[in-house]
Structure formats: C-alpha cells, structure tokens
A and B are shown apart, each in its own frame.
Chain A
Amino acid sequence: MKMTRREFVTRSVGGATLIASGATLPGFLTRTALAASPDRDGRILVVIQLTGGNDGLNTVVPYRDDLYHRARPTLRVTDQLALPLEMDMGLHPDMSGFKRLFDDGLLSVINNVGYPNPNRSHFQSMDIWHTASMSPETADDGWLGRVVDAKTTPGAPPYALHIDDAALPLALRTRETPTPSIRSVEAFQLADENSAVESAIAAIRQSASDDLLFVQRLAVESCRNARRIEQVANDVGASTATYPDYRLAARLRQVAQLIGAGFGPRVYYTSIDGFDTHAQQALSHGTLLRELADSVAAFVDDLRARGLLDRVAIMTFSEFGRRLNENAGQGTDHGAAAPMFLISSDARPGVHGGAPDLTNLLDDDLRHRVDFRSVYAGVLKNWLQVDHRAVLGDFAPMRGVWSA
C-alpha cells in the first residue's frame, strides 16, 4: 500500500544501482587526490524494518499479566509456550532464534518505544520513524539520510546501502548523494569476462587530467569490486553458516558477504513485510517472527564465523504496535508503543524500558515510555560514533543500553 509521499521518495532517489568500495589503491594511481577512504574496520549498522505494524505484545509477551490473557482469548501466548527472557517477559514461541541470541548475551529488547501523540496511519507513522520528525511533511530527508550526507564525499563509496525488493525508504533519503538500492548482489556483476579490457583500463596514461584519473580509478575499482563479489559469492568455503530458505535470510547472507568482502557502506537497510495482521493473526504472525528470528540468527552465526560479529549491530523497528484487545476477526488493529530489538556485542543484553503497563492505556493502546529518537541517538552516538545532534536535534541517547 503506497502513498504519494512514499512514491516521491522512491522515485526521486531510488532505482540506481550504486555502490563503491573505497579501499586503498594500487600505488600507480597515487597521483590522484584520494577521497577519504573509509576505515575498513569501521562499525556497521544493519536496520531491519518490520513493515505493517508488528504486534509487540505477542512478540515480547508479558505472559504473567492477567490483563493480557483476558484481552486476547484466542491470540494469547500462554506462559508454557513463551520463551522466557527476564522480568516475566518472554518471546513468542516461534522466535527460538532470538532466544538463542538472548542466551548468548547478544539480544537487547527495548520495550515501550514510541512517540507522543501516536499516529495510527501506516504511512504517517512510518514517515515519522523515518524522518525522526513529528511533522514529516516538512522534512526533506530521512534520519539515516542525514548521516549519509554528513559522511559522504564525492567519489567515495556510499555510506548506506538499501538491499530489498521494496522501494527505497524515506529514512535513507538524502539531500545530496543518492543512496543505492539493489535487489541483490548480482547487480554488481561484471558482464564482460574479458580481463584484457580491465588491464587495458588500468594501464597508465602518460598525461592524464585529474578527471581522467578519477574516472580511471573508478573503473578499476568497479571491476575489482565485481571480481571480489564474484569470488565471495562463489567461495562457499568462506562461510560455514547455513541460512534458512527465507527471503530475509538470503538478503542477510548477501549483506554478510558484502561486509566480509570489505565493502564501503556502514549502514545496511532491509525489511520484512506482512505484519499488518488485522485478521487471522495466528496464521501469519508466527511465520513472520520465525522468518525474522531464524534469518537473523543465521546472519549472526555467519558474522561470528567470519570474525565480524563485534563490528556489526542489528536493529529492528516497526511503525507502531498493535492494540491490546484482539478484534472480531481474530486479529489486532493498529496500536502505538512496541518493542525494538538490538543485537550487538556492545549493547547490554536484556529487557530495557520495563514491562508494558496494561493498566495505564492511552485510547486503549500502550503508552510509550521510550522515545524512539533516543534509541536512534544511542545507535548514532554510541555505536556509529557520529554526531547525533545534527541528525536528531536535542535527544539524549537512552541510558543503559550501550556499554560504551
């Protein structure tokens, strides 16, 4: 379900297959003024958007709360089935992957995340999350887009990469440099196997202008990147992790490959759709959570095997949660506050933000206790180490989440 605004973003920015690696160059190209080559060992953020409004109460379940059980006669997760976390809360039984991450000390749950005056429209609420602004119509760019603009210099690799079937989200919209949006890593293959062309491109020119050298450098890089991607893609031995057969898992595998190959982007963004469970929620919600948990768990295993786990943090969010009471169609309707997941060796594991307070509702919905912008601020300041104030304004990072 799309909206004008969304299309606006996607059409103006998306569609191009852009990515670059800024790795150090062979000596013979030293004449070129090099753009700042990004730190190969820098930290990476992977954002997974849960589109449709994930039912937080059935994801992180307050299984001892009577009010919960009474409000959801058919949809409730019983205390036998819930996978226990802490503080009388547990995960939906289909999320064994996340339970494992929790047991390994990698999973942080931030509960009751939202914003004042909750908006229950998909488009508007998602825009709010994407722009980190309460009036998203006035915002020109997304919160991650602002980071991209701040950190990108011309010719340098893009700071963020959107890898998904869906269109480029507003969150990645920038004012200056377009963010690449691809469906799969195959977009980076070089069609011509003729290596003679490549070496001829790289041959030294006698008198070359700066622009010619700039172009040459890029041409050489493109070819090299393509070769590296191919190698990484074909090199089955590099990763022993097995991914389940889900689409999200396939994309995360490619992200792992790209990170492993030393590519430029610091932010990867993807999504999983289908959470708008107005009817027959029991049918689909579990399947979706299983896809999310199993895919992310496999991704984490892969990163661990590649020795990259300490460089990557994963964050999930959704545009809103869902109502406490189930509706007549055995589903739930749009709500407000909901949990976010953070997976990082640097984040303090456990449940933050407290348990959901089912006695103190606002219009029959959960009140938020944590403003999502403070979660963003924490991610920006403590993990990516960028200036969060320039992106979000005066929002202090939520305390107690990050160890650094």
Chain B
Amino acid sequence: MSGLLTPYKPSAAPWDEARAASFLRRTSFCPSEREIRDAVSAGFGATLENLFAKRDCRDHNELDELGSPLALRENIEALRGWWLRRLALTARPLSGRLAVFWHNHFATSHVKVRSAPMMLQQLRTIERHAFGPFEEMLIAISRDPAMIVWLDNDDNVKGRPNENYAREVFELFSLGLGAYAEHDIREGARAFTGWSQKNGRYRFNRGEHDYGSKEVLGSRGDFDGDDVVRIAIAQPACASFIATKLLREFVCPAPDTELVDAVAEQLRSSRFEIQTTLRAIFGSDMFVNAPRDTPRIKSPVEFVIGVVRSLEIDAAAQQLSEATSQMGQRLFEPPSVKGWDGHRRWLNSATMLVRLNGVTSAVKSDRFQPSRLRSEYDLTTPDAVDAWCQRVTVGPDTRIDLPPAPDDLDERMKDRLRFLLSAPEYQLA
C-alpha cells in the first residue's frame, strides 16, 4: 500500500473525542453526542468496521418500505422528502452519503424521466451497488430504465446510433474528458444499441442491436454494452477518475496527484471495490489526522441532515425537502447530467441566508428539545452545555471564541447552537 495511505495507529495519536467527531463528520453526517461517545468507547477499529458493516444501503425498515407506495403516487417531492427522512434516521449514515454521491455521479433528473417509480428504481439500483464493485454498478446503471430515458438510449438503434449515453459513460461516468476519442464514442454507441426500456422495465431489443465488430479504446471485437463498460474500467484513466471523485466527496475538493494516484492504485488492486478503497482511505493516518481546517464545503444535504442528526431533531420529511431545495440541491432533479458541481458553488449570499435562517428556525422549533438532551447527556452546568454544543457542531478541536450567553441552561444551549451553526467553520466539513 502506498505510503500516503499508511494506516492510522491510535497509539501514535489517540482516538479521542476530537478525532472521533471529526472522523464521523467526514465519513457520515454531523454526529450526535451518542454517536461520538459510542465511537470513542468502541475504539477506532470497531468504528471503522461499523461503517462498512453491511454492504446493503437499505435499512429495510418500515420507513424504507414506504418508497414504493410513495413513488406510485407520482409525487416526486414526497419521494424526495422520504429519502431525506431516511437519511436523517438511518443507522448507517455512510451508506446514505454514498447513495447521494452516486446519485450525483449518475445525475439523472426526474424532470425528463417524468416517472417517480423509475427514479426510485434507479435509487434502489444505486443502493445495491454503492459499495462496489464499480463494474457491477456501471453495468446495472446501463440497463436502468430511468438512465435509458434520460440519455436517450431508447433512440439508440442499429444504423442510427444515438451517442448520448456512450459519450456520458466515458466522459462523466468512467473516464473523464480527454481520455477517449470521438471514434470511441461512435463505436461505443453501437454497442449499446437496442438497450431500451418499456414501462419502466429494461428491454433488450434484439432487432435494433448492432452485432457488428467495433473498435473501442484500442480493442476490437463484437462488443455489447457490458464489454464496453469493462474496457472502459480497464483504462488507467478510470481509476484516477473515480479516485478523484471519491476524494472530492470525502477528503478535499482539489486532491493532489499523489493522493489520487495512491487511491487509484487501491482501486485497481481491489478491482474497483469501493468499500475496500474507502476503508483504506478512512483508515489512513492522513485521513484521521486531517487538519481541522479541511476545506470542503458541505452540500445542502450534508448540512441539513447534519443539523437534524446532531441536534436529534425529529424533522418532517417535507421540511427537509424544502430546506435542501432552497439551498440549491433538489434530490432527483440535478441541474444537468454533470450533476451538482458543489464546493464553493453551493454558496452565495442568498443560499447562505437560507442556511442561516434555516439554522435559526431549527433551533427555535419545538422539535428541538434542549431539556431532553440535557437530561440524556447529563449536561447540568454551563460548561457542560458549551462543550456539548461545540462537540456536535464544529468539533471540540476548533478554536472559536464564544460570545456571552445566558445562564439559563436551555436558553444557553439554544444561543450557543445558533451561533455555532451560523459560524463559517460549520459550513466546512
């Protein structure tokens, strides 16, 4: 394993509250006090393993099962709210983050697909393959009816190939710009001909498929879509591309080449097992001991879900949906196939205002229960309250000057939270 990803050793730098909180913040959502304490007492190893406990992203509880009836109502807002509520309540927040990550990667929008059940189906596919191997994910997505509609692959027929899907497979899903030629797209499109859908079901249209020989990315053969996927993944550019994406999501917006190479190597050697790669990243010394000033700006979903999870607010689905939409991230409706650019583009002084106002209303709402929290975590003094507030927001290791606050403990908690959640530090993960 590359030197950059040497595993973290608790003996060298102890696994304390600060590290645990920071770790959880970056691998899942902003953690609650309960999660921090459990992580500290369980130790680093167990906490790391716990993130990957089950490959299945779905919680398989009652809330999860509401997806189907909701989708059939053809109400995408309700489905969005449902997904967000699942994220708020899930026991496996890393799976939640990954599902949103892949959703952004394959950026399919309901606005064109116009079918909530198909969008749900794509989400389920994503959740099935989120932890890898990536090859299976890409093969499954190529057959996903929503994707077929979104990138016009049902218009892709023998003799009149539609290159949209092939182009995006190379440009956006596996290789990135410049790692292929127009010729590869043309030939690649032929491989996907006949891959269509009817009424939300994948249908292989034999008559429309081009069985001929094709030359794609230097290989020649009677390729079909699956073959093209495998060829693409075998390209060196693919590992770097996926590595960069993972690093942008979990580490920093502009990872340097060495780090990308190290992760790419990890991907290759694990045959693109996302789980293994993430374990290597998260378990590395570099990651656990990252400086507090990690420059990654939280997406609206991370921000909102982080607030409700760490403050243990039982938020209604609709409010979660409205909040994230107003902050510029409407799940199921990315602005284009490139997805959300993220990082600084999430913020300008209006979305900032939405975040600030959102935080105020969250703390003021009656779903936030300071007394319950104080009794559960035994926060009986002003200092205890302050410390808790800091732990569940910006983290205990952040130096930040707190303004004066009232003595009444409930009011103090609210005040502190309003301040900390509005602080610029909180916007960074």
Contact = CB atoms under 8 A, between A and B. Distances in A.
Answer whether A and B are interacting partners: yes
B418 A222 contact: no
Interface residues of A, number: 53
Contacts of A15: 325-326, 330
B360 A215 contact: no
A212 interface: yes
B335 interface: yes
Contacts of A221: 349, 352
B428 A219 contact: no
B311 interface: no
A383 to B, nearest CB: 25
B209 to A, nearest CB: 27
Interface string B374-401: 0000000000000000000000000101
B61 interface: no
B349 A11 contact: no
A11 B348 contact: no
Contacts of A226: 353
Interface in A211-258: 211-212, 214-216, 218-219, 221-223, 225-226
Given A21-B349, A200-B403, A222-B352, A16 B328 contact: yes
A208 B295 CA distance: 10
Interface stretch (A152-160, A295-303, A336-344, A374-382): A152-160
B10 interface: no
Contact of A201 (B109, B297, B330, B424): B424
A20 B418 contact: no
Given A15-B326, A200-B401, A201-B422, A192 B360 contact: yes
Interface string A1-41: 00010011001110111111100000000000000000000
A216 B330 CA distance: 25
B344 A190 contact: no
Nearest to A214: B344
Given A18-B350, A155-B348, A200-B401, A219 B424 contact: yes
A354 to B, nearest CB: 42
A225 B326 contact: no
Contacts of A205: 424
A212 B298 CA distance: 12
Nearest to A204: B401
Q: Which of B109, B297, B352, B418 has the largest number of chain A CB atoms within 10 A?
A: B352
Given A11-B333, A192-B418, A201-B422, A223 B295 contact: no
Contact of B422 (A156, A197, A209): A197
A208 B428 CA distance: 12
B425 interface: yes
A215 B347 contact: yes
A17 B348 contact: no
Contacts of B110: 11
Q: Which of B297, B349, B353, B422 has the largest number of chain A CB atoms within 10 A?
A: B349
Given A180-B350, A191-B360, A200-B401, A7 B111 contact: yes
Given A4-B114, A154-B345, A196 B356 contact: no
A373 B239 CA distance: 47
Interface in B273-329: 293, 295-297, 325-328
Given A20-B350, A214-B344, A222 B326 contact: no
A187 B297 CA distance: 23
A21 B352 CA distance: 12
B111 A211 contact: no
A382 to B, nearest CB: 29
Contacts of A192: 356-357, 360, 418, 422
B418 A194 contact: yes
A203 interface: yes
Contacts of B422: 192, 197, 201, 219
Contacts of A209: 293, 295
Given A7-B111, A226-B353, A18 B348 contact: yes
Nearest to B421: A197
Nearest to A16: B328
B112 A8 contact: yes
B102 interface: no
Contacts of A197: 403, 418-419, 422
Contacts of B293: 207-209, 212
Nearest to A15: B325
A175 B427 CA distance: 25
A4 B114 CA distance: 9
Contacts of B345: 154, 177
B356 A222 contact: yes
Interface in A166-218: 175, 177-178, 180, 187-192, 194, 196-197, 199-201, 203, 205-212, 214-216, 218
B342 to A, nearest CB: 11
A18 B424 CA distance: 18
Nearest to B419: A197
B326 to A, nearest CB: 6
Contacts of A13: 335
B177 interface: no
Contacts of A225: 349, 353
B121 interface: no
Given A15-B326, A219-B356, A211 B423 contact: no
B348 A20 contact: yes
Contact of A19 (B328, B349, B360, B399): B349
Given A11-B111, A222-B356, A211 B428 contact: yes
Given A17-B350, A201-B423, A210 B295 contact: yes
Given A11-B111, A201-B423, A201-B424, A188 B353 contact: yes
A13 B340 CA distance: 11
A158 B348 contact: yes
B425 A212 contact: yes
B350 A19 contact: yes
B333 to A, nearest CB: 5
B354 interface: yes
B323 to A, nearest CB: 11
B219 interface: no
Nearest to B423: A201
A240 to B, nearest CB: 29
Interface string B104-126: 00000111101000000000000
24 contacts: A12-B109, A16-B325, A19-B349, A20-B349, A156-B348, A157-B349, A175-B336, A188-B353, A192-B356, A192-B418, A200-B401, A200-B423, A201-B422, A205-B424, A208-B293, A209-B295, A211-B296, A211-B297, A214-B344, A214-B347, A221-B352, A222-B350, A223-B356, A226-B353
Leading 3 A-B pairs by shortest Cβ distance: A20-B349, A211-B295, A18-B350
